Amino acid sequence: MKKTLLLLLLALLYLSKAGAQELGANYNENIAQPITEIQMLRNSEISWVRGFINIHSEFLTVENNVIVGINEDAIRNSSLSRQFMAARASLGEGVKFILSLKIPFQNDEGLVPEVGSEACEYVFKAARLLLESFDMGRNISLLVMGNEPMWENWNADLRSDDADDYKD
């Protein structure tokens, strides 16, 4: 009987720990908003903040539905990046930052650039430059390339013919 009670108590203790939730703030495309809500975020004792930057519309040059370059000045002068990093500095090391680099390829007829193509290299160069600007890369705990690639490629009914290229 004692062993049964002890096992039950241990199971309850284990389940109470397993059930704990982390509190975070997801700002989606309003990535600059955390800087206006620092006190609220501190008071909430959040452990993470997530936002996304649409590098497709902000930093890539598209002509006739094909990625043909990047706008380096837009990357270097991005107020979104500055504000995101200011929020990061204000909240301190205890808060992890998640950044999604949204790449809505469905907006172009060409969709996902072929792996190794010039267009694909523009996507990666833009991402690299962004992460180097304001030292963003060092301050991001988790980086996601794509908006929600796990959903965009998971369901065969929802994905396009080039989903395998998107995953690559």
Tell me the DSSP string of 122-159: HHHHHHHHHHHGGGGGGG-SEEEESSSHHHHTT-TTTS
Average pLDDT of 76-98? 87
8 A C-beta contact, residue 78 and residue 85: no
Average pLDDT of 79-100? 86
8 A C-beta contact, residue 95 and residue 50: no
CB contact set of 19 (below 8 Å; sequence gap of 6+) = none
Residue 167: predicted pLDDT: 55
pTM: 0.71
User: pLDDT above 90 covers what percent of the chain?
Assistant: 17
